[in-house]
Structure 1
Amino acid sequence: MKIALFPGSFDPVTKAHVDILKRSVALFDKVYIGIGVNSTKKGFLSIEKREQMLRAVFENEPKVHVVAYEGLTINFCKQIGAGYMIRGIRTVSDFEYEKAIAQMNHALEPEIESIFIVSKPGYSSISSTIVREILRYNGNAEQFIPKEALPYL
């Protein structure tokens, strides 16, 4: 069975995340959306709210499972039996950053492969960081967020 992890903060989930995940589902038997818990950062949305939001967005996709985790992502991959880690690439700088992480992960666990999926051009400017800022200052971010996630904001 091909199991993959799509890790991230998903604070909040964006249409770009959804696009990457929907394109990933065809490649794997099971895809975990892993919400990384960073105890040193205060998130915009609680972990519980992010889990609810992601479950609502992917409720009709039986291959997708939402779970929060803490610690090294590569260790979480081993814990859930994932042989693949999915990462979305929007820009050249994303690639450089993700390549470095993938190489470190490979050094730690050579059997876990990083899979890069390039975002569609229409989504390359959407990031959770920018969407958070729009929301924080009461802007309208509806065009960047899946409609199923809006009630959780």
Structure 2
Amino acid sequence: MASIAVVPGSFDPVTLGHVDIITRGANVFDKVIVSVLNNQKKQPLFTVEERIQLLKESTKSLENVEIDSFDGLLIDYVKEKKANAIIKGLRAVSDFEYELQMAAINRKLDENIETFFVMTNNKYSYLSSSIVKEVARYGAPVHDLVPPEVEIALKAKFR
């Protein structure tokens, strides 16, 4: 049986930290499905379609990575995709506290699906999509924070 993992997130926008976690997951699992959460409560900078396209461009060199989107419960989506794992990137202790709760409820909803926590590369430990948007909004360089196609998209949004 193939090992399939889902990497969920808002990816608004995708950062080099996200790409690092996705790449590392792709090195471990047979297939990785990166799925953009369509959260109706948030006002994202990029549409779901734009985020999907940016993720596709940012991960095009990873042959076993697929890009998708979902809304609703993550555990339902994971089961629909016949995945057996969820990958979550962690930057700090605060991430762990929240993600531990999410992993526990997902485990309660389906004990056959495992959650794997991947510690971020130290060079991305401070990086978040919110920080990237704030920096880009004021025209500061983001080339070392995001893939090139995301930098172009950010410049277009804030032009």
Residue 115 (structure 1) aligns with: 116
Q: Assess if the C-alpha contact under 8 Å between 1:49 and 1:152 holds in 2.
A: no
SS across alignment from 2:86? strand
Residue 95 (structure 1) aligns with: 96
Residue 60 (structure 1) aligns with: 61
Q: Assess if the C-alpha contact under 8 Å between 2:4 and 2:32 holds in 1.
A: yes
Q: Assess if the C-alpha contact under 8 Å between 2:142 and 2:151 holds in 1.
A: no
Q: Assess if the C-alpha contact under 8 Å between 2:17 and 2:120 holds in 1.
A: yes
Aligned equivalents of 1:115 and 1:85: distance in 2? 6
Q: Structure 2 counterpart of 1:144, which letter?
A: L
Deviation at 1:151, TM superposition (A): 2.9
The CA deviation string for residues 54-102 of structure 1, in whole angstroms up to 9 with x for no partner, is 1011112110000011111111101111110000011011111111110
Aligned equivalents of 2:32 and 2:125: distance in 1? 22
Task: Check if 1:129 corresponds to 2:130.
Answer: yes
Q: Assess if the C-alpha contact under 8 Å between 1:5 and 1:32 holds in 2.
A: yes
Aligned equivalents of 2:48 and 2:152: distance in 1? 16
- Give ranges in structure 1 of 5+ residues lacking alignment: none
Residue 30 (structure 1) aligns with: 31
Residue 144 (structure 1) aligns with: 145
In the comparison of the two structures, how many residue pairs are matched? Answer: 153
Aligned equivalents of 1:39 and 1:69: distance in 2? 11
Deviation at 1:43, TM superposition (A): 0.5
Could you tell me the percent identity over the aligned residues?
39
Deviation at 1:139, TM superposition (A): 2.8
- Moved >6 Å (runs of 4+): none
Matches within 5 A, 1:14-25: 14-25=15-26
Normalised to the residue count of structure 1, the TM-score between the two structures is: 0.95
Aligned equivalents of 1:15 and 1:116: distance in 2? 17
Deviation at 1:132, TM superposition (A): 1.6
Q: Structure 2 counterpart of 1:25, which letter?
A: A
- Give ranges in structure 2 of 5+ residues lacking alignment: 155-159
CA RMSD of aligned residues (A): 1.1
Deviation at 1:136, TM superposition (A): 2.8
Residue 75 (structure 2) aligns with: 74
Deviation at 1:142, TM superposition (A): 1.9
Deviation at 1:138, TM superposition (A): 3.0
